[in-house]
Amino acid sequence: MKKTPLYERHLALGAKVIDFGGWAMPVQYTNVIEEHRTTRRNAGIFDICHMGEIEIQGEDAFSLLQHVMSRNLEKQSAGQMKLSLLLNEKGGIIDDLTVYKTAENNYMVVTNAVTKDRDLAWITKVREEKGYARVNLRDITDITGKIDLQGPLAASILEQITADDPGSLGFYSFSRTRVLGNPAIVSRSGYTGEDGFEIYVPADKVGEVWDALLEQGRGRGLKPVGLGARDTLRLEAGMMLYGNEMNENVTPFEVVYGWITDLDKEFIGRDCLLRQKEKGLERKLVGFEMEDRGIARHGYSVTGNDGKKIGEVTSGTFSPTLNRPIGLAFVPFSFREPGTEIRIDIRGNQARARVAKLPFYKRDRH
């Protein structure tokens, strides 16, 4: 297994480590519910070094990205990030990723850990086929450290060690700044539904940044948070996970990514998506809440009243905030409205559940 530069620190903090897509990652330090609540109440710090970063630079950078990305990047200004999708010709999702525009024709694309090599190969292939000669792709994952700092206290903790005030950043904006004197990218974004930041620093400096953040947060309730709570946090916030809700056989409209699919521009996968839109969808990803007891987990069947399989749970967990089991599932399109009753086969029991509005959790904005 690959180790992040923070691996030894996780062991020293008593983390339970698991294999996540070939990376040895902390799944929890104490327990999932406690780490989840810490993030909602105070702040949590996450090792996200396993995610991929690809630098895309050169005169053809914009043209290449505009052709491979579902999102129209035309109006993106330097200092803005955009959530986008990489699609195959059939409109299937290769990855969901964020595109940071640092300057004209100068981008950093942040990918999921398990999809990074596939993304890089795909974009490289398109570059060759389309003859975009004046653009370089560089995998900077190994030299880039990434920490997420999430929660209501994130801004006030981070500002202690940054050159610029992170609190003045707009949502989905970023600055190229310094953290502990090191060159850094700091964006106001995350994967928890809380206010917070994604922090990129050189890999050999990420340890000292981690230590400094924990030091600044001492006495204010900041705690390290593992992948277990990262999953419950994102699920409550109605955010999807690649590999669970998405793969290359799933299109953006079937999940909740229609809003980042701009059919008014040309991109790979568009033709198939136009046809799908015209024909109508057969299935749709929805949120659900359990009415009966038990947790519906990834892979469990959604059934009709006659017990026949009509869909599948993609993610399911216990929501620490709502104090009840929640999840995401594919259901027939006619079952998509909130309030619709569904059943989920939990170890042979047809447990009752109800389609719920997403997100399950929304923070108060002051």
CA distance 64 to 136: 10
Q: Which residues contact 259 (CB under 8 A, 6 or more apart)?
A: none
CB-facing half-sphere around the CA of 99: CA atoms within 13 A: 33
Amino acid in position 356: A
- Name which of residues 165 to 224 contact other proteins (CB under 8 A): none
Q: Give me the DSSP letters along 309-341.
A: EEEEEEEEEEETTTTEEEEEEEEEGGG-STT-E
CA distance 137 to 16: 35
One character per residue 271-300, x = contact with other proteins (rule: CB under 8 A): ----------------------xxx-x---
When binding is defined by CB under 8 A, the residue of 105, 162, 261, 317 that contacts other proteins is: 317
Q: Which is nearer to other proteins, 238 or 325 (CB)?
A: 325
Look-up: residue for tokens 């390290």? 224
Closest distance to other proteins from the beta carbon of 294 (Å): 6
Closest distance to other proteins from the beta carbon of 362 (Å): 21
Q: Which residues contact 306 (CB under 8 A, 6 or more apart)?
A: none
Q: Which is nearer to other proteins, 34 or 208 (CB)?
A: 34
Q: Which residues contact 255 (CB under 8 A, 6 or more apart)?
A: 93, 240, 245, 246, 285
Closest distance to other proteins from the beta carbon of 309 (Å): 20
When binding is defined by CB under 8 A, the residue of 144, 150, 175, 232 that contacts other proteins is: 232
CA distance 138 to 110: 12
Handedness of CA 200, 204, 205, 208 (dihedral sign): positive
When binding is defined by CB under 8 A, the residue of 27, 113, 250, 310 that contacts other proteins is: 27
CB-facing half-sphere around the CA of 92: CA atoms within 13 A: 9
When binding is defined by CB under 8 A, the residue of 79, 182, 318, 354 that contacts other proteins is: 318
Question: Binding-site residue total for other proteins (CB under 8 A)?
Answer: 17
Closest distance to other proteins from the beta carbon of 33 (Å): 5
When binding is defined by CB under 8 A, the residue of 22, 31, 59, 274 that contacts other proteins is: 31
User: Among 214, 205, 257, 234, which Cα is nearest to 95's?
Assistant: 257
Q: Give the binding range for other proteins (CB under 8 A) out of 31-39, 82-90, 128-136, 164-172.
A: 31-39
Q: Which is nearer to other proteins, 195 or 245 (CB)?
A: 245
Closest distance to other proteins from the beta carbon of 325 (Å): 8
Question: Kindly report the CA angle at 240 between 236 and 244, in degrees rounded to 5?
Answer: 115
- Name which of residues 321 to 360 contact other proteins (CB under 8 A): 325, 347
Q: Which is nearer to other proteins, 228 or 311 (CB)?
A: 228
When binding is defined by CB under 8 A, the residue of 228, 252, 269, 327 that contacts other proteins is: 228
Closest distance to other proteins from the beta carbon of 293 (Å): 7
Closest distance to other proteins from the beta carbon of 237 (Å): 16
Amino acid in position 152: P
Closest distance to other proteins from the beta carbon of 2 (Å): 22
Q: Which is nearer to other proteins, 298 or 354 (CB)?
A: 298
- The token duo for 342 is 């569904």
Binding residues for other proteins (CB under 8 A): 27-28, 31-34, 228, 232, 293-295, 297, 317-318, 320, 325, 347
